[in-house]
Amino acid sequence: MGRRLRAFFIFLLFIATSGIFAQSVIVSSYFNAADPRDEWTEILVISDNTDMRNWSLQDNNAAQTAFQTPIIFANIDLWNNLRAGTIIMVWHRSLSTAGVTYPTDVNKSDGYIEVSANNPAGYFSGGAFGTSPLFAGSTLNVAAAGDLIQLLNASGTFIHALGHILNIPPITATPPESLNASESLVFTDVLEGGR
């Protein structure tokens, strides 16, 4: 076999296996507000036919020393066979501070899903949301001083995280497949990142 042909096959092998270790989904951004009812997380699906059933989405505390109670993606068709490029918008609460219910869009065929973490329709389970609408619960309540939004698959394996904390280095060790910015956020800041 000639050198060029061998190099071509090595190149094809590299391309074919490079996606094996890449994230199938990333936390692409999140929004910090004075009240968790106005906060959101955006997730981006990277790989075709991704199955996010029984995955978990959780945030850490301000010091990044302990994770809060996660929400679990329901075992429903909505979270199965997701296409690459699909954007998933998760409102942290179903009602805004103005008392307006956030929209729900579960037609995944157009590459956009919009749901609330505590929507009673059952898109997620779990979470600690409390009963009071004001600052209810610790789940997905982004802290300005520091936080880390993390995705785990159904087996509990780390997929991706996006976070911020002023301390350098951050207290929580994050795998290389994550971004943990050394900064604090003021209210109404969006942190964007991803791989």
Which CATH number does the domain housing residue 161 bear? 2.60.40.1260
Give pLDDT tens digits for 114-151. 999 999 899 999 999 877 655 568 899 998 888 899 99
Residue 82 has pLDDT above 80, yes or no: yes
User: To the nearest 10°, the Cα dihedral for 112, 117, 120, 126?
Assistant: 130
Is residue 140 in some structural domain? yes
Nearest to 192, CA basis, from 152, 150, 168, 164: 164
Q: What's the pTM value of the predicted model, to 2 decimals?
A: 0.82
Is residue 49 in some structural domain? yes
Question: Can you read off the two tokens belonging to residue 175?
Answer: 């795998």
Is residue 51 in some structural domain? yes
pLDDT at 168: 58
Please state the rounded mean pLDDT for residues 32-61.
95
Is residue 191 in some structural domain? no
More confident residue, 57 or 137: 57
Interior/surface letters 20-44, b for 16+ CB within 10 angstroms, e for the rest: eeebbbbbbbbbbbebbbbbbbbbb
Is residue 190 in some structural domain? no
Give every CB contact of residue 33 below 8 A, 6+ residues apart in sequence: 39, 142, 187, 188
More confident residue, 5 or 126: 126
Give pLDDT tens digits for 142-175. 988 888 999 999 999 999 999 888 765 555 566 6
Is residue 4 in some structural domain? no
Is residue 137 in some structural domain? yes
- Phi-psi category of residue 188: left, alpha or beta, with phi > 0 → left and psi -120 to 50 → alpha: left
Is residue 41 in some structural domain? yes
Q: Which domain, by its residues, includes 129? A: 20-185
Instruction: Report how many domains make up the chain.
Output: 1
Residue 6 has pLDDT above 70, yes or no: no
Give every CB contact of residue 18 below 8 A, 6+ residues apart in sequence: none
> Which run of H or of E encompasses 140?
none
